[in-house]
Amino acid sequence: MSDWRSYAVRLADQLRASGDLRSPAWHAAIAETPRHVLVPTVYQPPEEFYGAFTHTRLNTAEHLELIYSTTTLVTAVAPTKDGDVVGRSSSTKPDLMVRMLETLDIREGQRILEIGTGTGYNVALLAHRLGDDHIFSVDIDPELVSTARRRLARIGRHPHLAVGDGAQGWPAHAPYDRIIATCAVRRVPWSWYEQLTLGGQLLVDFKPHGGGNLVLLERKDDRLEGRFAARFAAFMAIRQPDNPDERPPTPWQPEFALTRQRTTTTPAEPAGAMLFLRAVMSSTQLRQRYAFDQQTRRPTAVRLAAADGSCCEVDLTPAGNGTWTVREGGPTPLWREIEHDYQQWCDWGRPGWDRIGITVTPETWAVWLDEPSNLLTRPPLPC
């Protein structure tokens, strides 16, 4: 694929035009990195909610269009215990990747730790900017690391790669000026704090309750602190050794029939920032899933369940006049508390992600609005 350079340059120009890329150094990294060498095959997902992934070798001009586009490429899949097949690893959308790199304000001479090597594409961009010796990347999957090392060598890149638990970082080479995680975490590992220089920054997708966003944290004397990114982004959950504490919680099963019905002016799916605030402010822990149409396999309602068996279901399609239908069962009226939290969010001026921040200590984390002193979680939540 000797003509790949024109595609790479076009991608870099596109990212600059969209505002995702501002630095000439990152433009050069995108334009001069042969992504097709690092991502020679992909698993194309089904177009609908069901169907099989299609394994495709990218070896035509049409495939170059896909490789050098703002598309997330699924590069590995794995079966679940339920018999489904899900993505296990991917090459992140270049527009998101470069926004993350720009957000971290990476500068010459800095040492960078990446959590989640994957295909090695992000490593290649970092190495282009700072040089191989300044880049360290760890991934739990030996096969991914081995493949990335081999493919990076083909394009003349030899950064430091290792197989390991990303939640533990890579202490042997610490401290780092920046840590970038291409995965989502339910808890921010304190080991990352310990491996950052004072004033160093960490960028990670923080999802304590299943919903969250990228947050940029700075190492202070005794804490990590910072705001969420204004634009939403999502990553696969961090993969770790078999640790029961890190497994997603099993959904509670409703024990009561949906015997009560009414309407609400609170939408089932408000803005993402509101979903996050709702989860951290709520006094009732909830599990969420969707109801699907059996023929189209498209979601029709949001279902919530609490530990006492109470449940509710809220239609995704409005009932009319700005209302949605709510069906509830059990002793706890779950949607009433959500309506209260939604009204609180409206009273605050419907804040977006960029007004929300978190403070992380070894034992706790807290959410704040606008300023760290304006805590929304009292007391701070245990890590």
362 belongs to a structural domain: no
Q: Do 211 and 117 belong to one domain?
A: yes
**Distance between CA atoms of 163 and 151, rounded to whole angstroms?**
16
Three-state DSSP class for residue 335: helix
307 belongs to a structural domain: yes
372 belongs to a structural domain: no
165-216 confidence digits (pLDDT tens): 999 999 999 999 999 999 999 999 999 999 999 999 999 999 987 778 999 9
Band of the pLDDT at 45, cuts 50, 70, 90?
Answer: low
43-68: average pLDDT: 70
Q: Do 188 and 54 belong to one domain?
A: yes
The CATH number given to whatever domain includes residue 292 is 3.30.160
Q: What is the pLDDT of residue 379?
A: 66
8 A C-beta contact, residue 74 and residue 44 = yes
Q: Do 95 and 209 belong to one domain?
A: yes
10 belongs to a structural domain: yes
Q: Do 109 and 149 belong to one domain?
A: yes
Q: Is 79 exposed, middle or buried (0-12, 13-18, 19+ CB in 10 A)?
A: exposed
Q: Lowest-confidence range among 158-162, 248-252, 258-262, 284-288? A: 248-252
Q: Do 290 and 224 belong to one domain?
A: no
Three-state DSSP class for residue 96: helix
Which structural domain range is residue 26 located in?
4-228
218-267 confidence digits (pLDDT tens): 999 999 999 999 999 888 889 877 644 444 455 556 678 899 999 999 99
Q: Do 217 and 296 belong to one domain?
A: no
Candidate ranges 48-57, 58-67, 139-148, 264-273; pick with highest mean pLDDT: 139-148
**Distance between CA atoms of 5 and 340, rounded to whole angstroms?**
54
Which residue(s) pair with 205 in the sheet?
184, 214
Q: What is the pLDDT of residue 8?
A: 95
Band of the pLDDT at 147, cuts 50, 70, 90?
Answer: very high
Q: Do 211 and 264 belong to one domain?
A: no
**Distance between CA atoms of 139 and 167, rounded to whole angstroms?**
10
Is pTM, for the whole model, over 0.75? yes
Q: Do 213 and 283 belong to one domain?
A: no
**Distance between CA atoms of 36 and 183, rounded to whole angstroms?**
22
183 belongs to a structural domain: yes
Q: What is the pLDDT of residue 245?
A: 42
Q: Do 312 and 187 belong to one domain?
A: no
315 belongs to a structural domain: yes
Residue type, 308: D
Return all residues near 347 (Cβ < 8 A) that are at least 6 apart.
none
What is the count of structural domains for the chain?
A: 2
Q: Lowest-confidence range among 192-196, 303-307, 375-379? A: 375-379
**Distance between CA atoms of 316 and 298, rounded to whole angstroms?**
11
Q: Do 222 and 264 belong to one domain?
A: no
Domain edge (last residue) among 228, 247, 276? 228
Q: What is the pLDDT of residue 246?
A: 46
Q: Which residue has the higher pLDDT, 46 or 211?
A: 211
**Distance between CA atoms of 323 and 275, rounded to whole angstroms?**
18
Q: Do 75 and 34 belong to one domain?
A: yes
Candidate ranges 240-244, 279-283, 345-349; pick with highest mean pLDDT: 345-349
